[in-house]
Structure 1
Amino acid sequence: MARNTLEAWIPEEWETSRVVQSITQISAIEALAARIPMGSDTKHVPRTAGMDVAVVAKGGTYGEDTSLNDEVLLSAIKFGKAARIAEEDIDDSVANVIEAKMIGWGKSYAKLIDNASLAVSATSNGTTVPFTSLYQLLNTTDATLSYTGGANITTAASSGAPSYSEFSTAIGNVEVGDYFDPGSMRAIAHTAFRKSLRGVLDTQNRPIFVEGQGGTPDTIFGVPIQWSLGAKLSATATSTPTGRPLMCFVNPELLLLGIRSGPESVFIDGRDGLSALTDESILKMRARRGFAYGHPNGASILVG
């Protein structure tokens, strides 16, 4: 991971980088979302309300579909940080200090991108609230899409574990919609749900939560779960959210993650330019991402 160049940002290799591996292990969004390449700061992505079908008689006229066609806008936001590293730490340490810093940044970024995409409760401003999160989307009425704000959000009534009925209601809100796909549906949940889920039984005393074995994922109602440390409510995007945990039922095809650049880094040698006044080098890390969820009727949330 040591850098010898000052000319350009160096992207992490997606297949082999330990930084990328740590990000995809922690971030549900980076692991599951449809990746949309972005050649500029913004990109319009088509969104459709579906297409109808009807019987056509022999020699008859095809009816025309009237479903809404529109688009969502992805805007690339930069997530970054810089770290000063003393020359002594680089030269004397047996451990790779630069790689350790990069992996630490990757883990924080993984929680931040999930929190920004799923759980921020405020309206997007492009800075402290980078995107319209899934929670905010489901809280907002959109008459054009025939969606009423809050319709697909279930809030647990008790301060303890959510009940079977509350879990069932939450997943049921998306199961009755046109965007439910049993083959691809996923649950994204904060790890706080693991403890409470272990004791929840259905009406026939069967557990709704099954822990995975031999590499298979954990499931709830047969739906694979992707755990996320960023899936907690927060007023602004943060890698350390402290609000109520969320369980989100989503169609990954509607999770749209714009990829502008990164993760990438640049190493500025402490013996160059103004940095030469100290025996410190600077490591800068960043990723540029956009996010949107395709349709509010295609997701639901349980607030724990």
Structure 2
Amino acid sequence: MIAFNFNIIFTDESLLQDDDYDSQLETIKVTKATENTLQSQFVVNSGWIDMSGRKAMYLAKTEFALSVAPGSQWALEIDDVLILFWSIDHSIMYYQPLAQFTPERLRFWVCHTVLPLKFALEKRYEMLHVGAVEVADRPIFFSAESFGGKSTLTDYFIQQGHALYSDDSLAIYAEDNTFYAVASYPFHRPYREPEVLGYQVDNVARQAKPLYAGYVLEKGAVDASINIEELKGIEKYKAFHFSGFIDLDFFKAQHFLLRCALAEAVPMYKVTIPWSLERLPEVYSHIVVHSTVPR
């Protein structure tokens, strides 16, 4: 599987192996641990937190804020499912199956949670909690509150033939004051089932491209007019702020600077969405036209 512009190989899980491989990309192997790595080896933990329908816990070998140096070791324990272990800048991740382990749950937690965290810790990418697709060869993204229509709209764009960039974790990086979007994993879950990546998407963007625009979705009445207005100033910054993916304390200063830079570089618009599936084609048409008109 290709995800985040890496080959991801689940070496011990035949159900997760496929032919999607690019010899030009770096490879990360996900391998079953040969011996138990006990929780007591980790000196700090986040305590149990709610995550994707489970209790989960981050662990590290030293204080979280100091755990970003090359070779630093991290783990994520998902209660009664598995424990994932990895080192910063290393190309192998290990997992320890627990009672409710399945290969599909392994793939979910690796792709949905651990890879975004690993790349953020390594400062390869920053992550935005958004859906993203390609329109006229340019990536755009959708941001919304929980159950605010982001996944439904992303799914509709996919069904109309637009390439997928992100189900909900968009990788970005900056180069020469331009932010580039990188496609995440090739799955989409329109109904947000816990621990499920959803259906496999064949049309996935393969090339990093400049991030063109963002759209904040705002619920409207069933008969509301579809309105698109550009966000400015503090409202624009707040839109990027609430699109963050990883919320660990020691990332806060880094994320503040990132969001300020994004607000300077990337246009952001608010879209009033009539809360009716019957009007989804209208919403789609408005956004497509808006995102293809030269600025």
State whether TM-score is above 0.5.
no
TM-score, L = length of structure 1: 0.23
Q: Which is bigger in relative contact order (C-alpha 8 A, separation at least 6)?
A: 1
TM-score, L = length of structure 2: 0.23
Bigger share in strand: 2
